[in-house]
Structure 1
Amino acid sequence: MKPHAGIRVTTLLLAAAAMMVIAWLLLRLLSSGGSAVPDPGWIGGVAMLFLGAALLIGGWQVRKVRDGHPNPVITPLRAARTLVLGQAGALTGSVLVGWYVANVLVLLPDADVDSQLARIWAFAVHAVIALLLAVAGMVVQSWCRLRPRDDEDENGSDHS
């Protein structure tokens, strides 16, 4: 039986692209009706950075146990939860990248206005931070992946 490969980069790219298209359409509809594109709050960027750092810390602990450094705090259940959190962080980051890029695209025609240019840069910074969250999630997923055991290969335990 082939183990599950986990979240793939193509999945993240598709999620980001889908969110970007949907958000762009909705934001264009709202802005054509006279509504302004909402400003990105700084708290969102801080929250994404905090989540990414927490994911990396948890993933690093699981990686150390996986590599043979015992830690009684890291149980198999905690390792599994860390894996799922890493995957959730990757998906969340990719969807947020799509959201922030859509905001940039909606504001881009008014980039010659200084106030709009400042907002474009704020959304671009948030998109980069969201990308970092997605990357952190993928790194944690790779750190939580179990390596195949040597005895499985020798016994020919191919269950296909």
Structure 2
Amino acid sequence: MTAQTHVPSLLSRAGAVSALTLATVAGTMLAPGAASEAEAATLSVRALKIAESKKGSPYMYGATGPHRFDCSGLTLYSFKKAGKKLARTAQAQYNQTQHVSPSSRRKGDLVFFHSGRYVYHVGIYAGNGRIWHSPKTGSLVRLERIWSRSVLYGRVR
């Protein structure tokens, strides 16, 4: 075979790739307002870094920053600074997120602690079974291992 006989084959392959790319891009255009996987991951990692930057900030019930936080106040503040508005309470944030399985969790996902159907605490997943959170009165924003099996995961979009 000569180089000329490979040209149509290469063009048809390039055309197929271009069609797939166009279909993928068009698919994201069909759902306005929906973040792509990459955009959601970038947003979540930015929020994670913002929460990390608040290490040592004191807990204060009802506080949403920038110097004091309760649990959902820290997640609200972190995602707001990253460019996404969240609901105020842990339960409302859980209701707002795309629920993901423990095996699908990734850095920047929200970790919700629950008792039955009641969500009572939230933090931001940092990887390796740890979260950034603002635990309780008298404590500081910190990185801590997940201490319970009664957790649910949510991805902010």
Same fold (TM over 0.5): no
Q: Which has the higher strand share?
A: 2
**Structure with higher RCO (Cα < 8 A, 6+ apart):** 1
Give the TM-score normalised by structure 1: 0.29
Give the TM-score normalised by structure 2: 0.30
